Copies of this chain bind each other. A is one copy, B any other.
Amino acid sequence: MRIAILGYGVVGSAVAKALIENDKIIRARCGENIIPVIALARKNKKNALIPITTNIDEILQRDDIDVFVELMGGIEIPFQIVSQILKKKKPVVSANKAMLAYYRYELENLAKNLAFGYEASVGGGIPIIKILKEGLSANNILSIKGILNGTSNYILSAMNTKGIQFYDALKTAQELGYAEADPSFDIEGQDAAHKLLILASIAYGLRAKPEDILIEGISDITSEDMYFAKEFDFTIKLLGIAKTKNSKVELRVHPTMINKDKMIAKVDGVMNAVSITGDLLGENLYYGAGAGGMTTASAVISDLIDIARNEFKGPMLGFRNDFQFELLNKDEIFTKYYLRLKVEDKVGVLSKIAQLMSENGISIDSFLQKPKQDEIHSTLFFTTHSTFEKDIKNLLLILEKQDFIKGKPFMMRIEE
């Protein structure tokens, strides 16, 4: 089986290297040689393991390529190129989560009876696409909760274990190569949202796009939140969450307070993990590295081996028959919340806040006042019983207008 690699960066070169170095086990697994024939790169590379071209047409015009591996990045350009390949009835393997977050149904439509592998698009080396699509296929999926972004998890873990502030943890992450120079895509939740949308298509046939769902990042988390979490046996993680409610599914990406005894709360550093609850099997958790050249190559090549084994009959996303959940309106999210308020330390403030909460139908589950930081301000921490998102949002707007509240009230959702 002869393959072309479109994009010869960290992952593309790792795919070539792994195909060459692990050729014995790969051949034993699928009964065939999988040979990287040519790669597309932005500029010519000396010492590349396989022939390189900078001209995409040179690759697309060849008729000796059996499978195309798309590792270019971007959205529109790879979508155009992949569409062209699928129209020529050639199988594709892609790691491009952004393209899939926007065009996965268009691609499924084009792929029809062709193989389209995208194991590498979510969870790095964890075969979470295969697990959800094939391994758990008998289950109605009740929920998916994932640590889907290693950069954010590294930062939150460092803040938690070292007691440092967000920007110091980010700086360390950048020094270690775990965060980009511009880290916004990772820390603002976009990357996790793309991955969550892909998983939600497999589990629920959900057609939403990134702009349709609730996405919040981690940059407002402070060491005070970490302090509260420790006191109340929580851990803070950036989670991608999908949950069914009647015939709808809610999708959200945000920093989350979770009980520290949950398996997913124990996942530290740059690692990824996905917890899936099915109606038959209860909760499962899948854990592993979420990024890195060789890790991603492991997923890309597993798709190639499936294609060589002819085990890729589709459907690409998850369903042969029509099966489709609708997205739950954000306002209808119903969960527990954590609030951090910086207030003037004077008589009557707590009672006033409690009154405002009560007037908005929000009931307090726990309360903590941190010892005073300066002469006039205290930090108050609350958790609430389950309430609707629209009520908590309304409360925040009201609190913000109170003169005894300093700065912006901070809210985080709690997951049990």
Please tell me if the beta carbons of A280 and B321 are within 8 angstroms of each other in the complex: no
A295 within 8 A of B: yes
Residues of B within 8 A of A348 (CB): none
Please tell me if the beta carbons of B298 and A278 are within 8 angstroms of each other in the complex: yes
A77 within 8 A of B: no
Produce 1/0 per residue, A291-327, CB < 8 A to B: 0001101110110111001111100001111110000
Residues of B within 8 A of A26 (CB): 137-138
Please tell me if the beta carbons of A298 and B139 are within 8 angstroms of each other in the complex: yes
Say which one of A127-135, A209-217, A250-258, A402-410 lies at the interface with B: A127-135
- A28 is contacted by which of B27, B124, B288, B319 (Cβ under 8 Å)? B319
Please tell me if the beta carbons of B31 and A320 are within 8 angstroms of each other in the complex: yes
Q: Once the chains are docked, how many angstroms separate the CA of A309 from the CA of B134?
A: 10
Residues of B within 8 A of A304 (CB): 138
Residues of B within 8 A of A139 (CB): 22, 25, 298
A284 within 8 A of B: yes
With A22-B139, A22-B280, A298-B280 in contact, is A305–B134 under 8 Å at CB?
yes
Please tell me if the beta carbons of A295 and B280 are within 8 angstroms of each other in the complex: yes
Residues of B within 8 A of A124 (CB): 281
Q: Nearest chain-B residue to A123 (Cβ)?
A: B284
A29 within 8 A of B: yes
Please tell me if the beta carbons of A294 and B280 are within 8 angstroms of each other in the complex: yes
Residues of B within 8 A of A267 (CB): 263
Please tell me if the beta carbons of A282 and B286 are within 8 angstroms of each other in the complex: no
Q: Nearest chain-B residue to A128 (Cβ)?
A: B135
A30 within 8 A of B: yes
A76 within 8 A of B: no
Q: Once the chains are docked, how many angstroms separate the CA of A40 from the CA of B310?
A: 34
A110 within 8 A of B: no
Please tell me if the beta carbons of B284 and A125 are within 8 angstroms of each other in the complex: yes
Please tell me if the beta carbons of A322 and B28 are within 8 angstroms of each other in the complex: yes
With A127-B135, A298-B278, A302-B135 in contact, is A22–B140 under 8 Å at CB?
yes
A233 within 8 A of B: no
